[in-house]
Amino acid sequence: MPRYVGMSRYVGMSRYVGMSRYVGMSRYSDHEAFIRYLRLEEALRLAHRPRYAYSDGLRLQSIEDAMMTAFAAKKYALPHLLEQCFSYLEANVNAKNVCQIYEFAQSVDAPLLIFLCLNIMDRQTFHVLTSPSFPMVLPSTAELIASRSYLNLYSEFTVYTSLVQWGEDECKRRKIPDDPENVRQVLEAHLPYIRFLAMSPEEFAKGPAKGGLLTLDECFAIFMNLAIPDCVPVPPGISPEYNKRSAPPEYFICTRYRGLSYSPPGRPLRVFGIRFSTVEKNIFLVGAAFPVRLDNNYYAVRQPKYTGVVRIARRLVDGKIERQESEVSFQLSKGKDTAFTLRKPYYCRRGEKYEVELQAHALISDDVIVPLLRNKKREDVVEGVTFQFIPFTRVKLSSILDITEFSELHFYC
């Protein structure tokens, strides 16, 4: 029997045979080996010796080990141990295991891991879809990837072939024949996201048209629209998108306002901020920008650099306020607003109100210009996310400082 080195050894394993459905063990690895793992006498013995939970000798050798240890750490409220597990997974996530880690991150509510996984799915899509583990992902994970607006792919044909392979494997897991009719039923939620009209006629002819997944009427309509776009109506349940998906930008930009007619500020600048909430989706806030620029008459070779602290406040449902802060740096330049990037993305949940404040460590007053006119929006819609804004003020400081709202929010979703 092998000796396991992860802290998952101390979990009450006898109660967690069903935990495999959370980690996805039964889909991704040898189930019998996992059951043997649960029955280890050493794990049961260490379950009653909590001093091991605080040992500095944690040695994780696989992502499965890290995930099982993280489940135990979360159950027994051991944040330091949980953070070590997350750090291991963050360092070892790649295109081959990203789906497995994403499903784990969803089950334990690990936002940073989710952010990393989404970025890999969007930017290394071909390797994700063609990895040996993709046919074993959960239906929700397969649907998530198929529904993404941005995917780094040469052809939509890869999405089709990977989903069909996943559908056939899912039929086997459900113990039903993997014929086209059953595969179509399994892919009922996924099919509307496949962009058949973004394929070339040759790709469609050699794959979907012969695969039996689509009806003759659907194939005919797609062929007609591939020949002459929009010449016939697209059948229900078929994506009307003609555009190929491509790699996403580094982040998306939500605009609060655009500055006009720049001039030197009347008072020193030090405090910047914004208040907002989102409606449809949760987002990852990665940075922001504020409308402070170098004066056009500034001729020094070096651009001024500043540091400051960003404070993010989240109002909870019960009225309490959760706060987080981190250090940032930013650099002023001519002709564009000043932007900064958070050290770690901040997870913003839809429907909750957030306040983001940047306080510079030094006053900003010399050789800068700010907009006199600011046509502020009450809301902005970007990538299907509606941002609703609330005026940002600091009454006690407004008499001595120019309190400036952020002009942009930088986010990912």
**Would you kindly state where each structural domain of the chain is located, as residue ranges?**
31-92, 111-227, 252-412
| Residue-by-residue pLDDT tens, the chain, 413 positions | 333 333 333 333 333 333 444 444 456 554 444 443 444 334 433 443 444 455 455 778 888 888 888 888 888 788 888 898 999 999 999 999 999 999 999 999 999 999 999 999 999 999 999 999 999 999 999 999 999 999 999 999 999 999 999 999 999 999 999 999 999 999 999 999 999 999 999 999 999 999 899 999 999 999 999 999 999 999 999 999 999 999 999 999 999 998 888 888 878 888 999 999 999 999 999 999 999 999 888 887 778 899 999 999 998 777 788 899 999 999 998 889 999 999 999 999 998 999 999 999 999 888 888 888 778 889 999 999 999 999 888 756 655 566 789 999 999 99
Q: Please, is 208 exposed, middle or buried when counting C-beta atoms within 10 Å of its C-beta (0-12, 13-18, 19+)?
A: buried
292 is written with which tokens? 């402070």
Phi-psi region of 59 (alpha: psi -120 to 50; beta: other; left: phi over 0): beta
Residue listed under structure tokens 């006119």: 373
209 is written with which tokens? 């048209």
pTM: 0.84
Amino acid at 280: E
The domain 252-412 having CATH identifier 3.40.50.10740: the answer here is no
Helix 98-108, helix 63-75: angle, nearest 10 = 0
Nearest Cα to Cα of residue 278 among 254, 258, 252: 254
Q: Quote the DSSP letter at residue 283.
A: E
Q: Supply the CATH classification number for the domain 111-227.
A: 1.25.40.420
